[in-house]
């Protein structure tokens, strides 16, 4: 039972629940290389960057490749249109002028939600074990019947 419980909890904790937390002013945000972020473009930024990111793209998610006072360069993993249509990327790099960025948010582990989901998953594993047992294995040996002489 301990191994099943540990495996269930490990899966939940590895998946985790994440949220995006604002990094403050776009002009001052200097996230370190490798930081997972979500960038929201301005309306004019979405229009001027359409040739690089696609039409109607409002959000870009990815890791920071570089940050300087003039621009952020992202290795993009996902984009989202104003209509909430998501598009997967393969890490293509896009340089975003700071004037075209409305906000920058950093991806953070949401500890409360992760613990809640982990508790529910762990409770489910324990309940399933209590309900269904060990899956039919037995520690008591089975003795074949003795056939007598006639």
Q: Residue 93 pairs with which residues in a beta bridge?
A: 75
Tokens at 22, concatenated: 């604002």
- 72: closest CA among 42, 95, 49? 95
Specify the pLDDT at position 107. 84
pLDDT, residue 146, reads 73
Tell me, what's the pLDDT at 24? Answer: 72
Per-position pLDDT tens, the chain of length 150: 556 556 655 655 556 787 878 777 776 678 889 999 999 999 999 999 999 999 999 999 999 999 999 999 999 999 999 999 999 999 999 999 999 999 999 987 755 555 555 555 556 655 666 666 655 555 666 666 777 665
Among left, alpha and beta (phi > 0; psi -120 to 50; other), residue 93 is beta
Query: Tell me, what's the pLDDT at 2?
Result: 59
Q: Which CATH class is domain 18-109?
A: mainly beta
Q: State the pLDDT at residue 3.
A: 65
Q: Residue 12's pLDDT is what?
A: 53
Sign of the CA dihedral 81, 86, 92, 95? Answer: positive
Length of the chain as a residue count: 150
């Amino acid at each position: 039972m301990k191994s099943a419980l540990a495996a269930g909890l490990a899966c939940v904790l590895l998946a985790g629940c994440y949220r995006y937390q604002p990094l403050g002013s776009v002009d001052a945000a200097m996230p370190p290389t490798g930081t997972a972020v979500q960038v929201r473009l301005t309306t004019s930024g979405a229009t001027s960057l359409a040739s690089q990111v696609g039409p109607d793209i409002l959000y870009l998610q990815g890791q920071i490749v570089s940050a300087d006072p003039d621009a952020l360069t992202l290795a993009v993993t996902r984009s989202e249109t104003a209509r909430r249509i998501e598009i997967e990327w393969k890490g293509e790099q896009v340089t975003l002028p700071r004037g075209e960025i409305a906000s920058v948010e950093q991806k953070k582990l949401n500890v409360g939600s992760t613990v809640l989901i982990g508790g529910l998953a762990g409770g489910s594993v324990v309940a399933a074990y209590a309900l269904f047992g060990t899956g039919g294995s037995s520690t008591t040996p089975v003795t074949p019947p003795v056939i007598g002489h006639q």
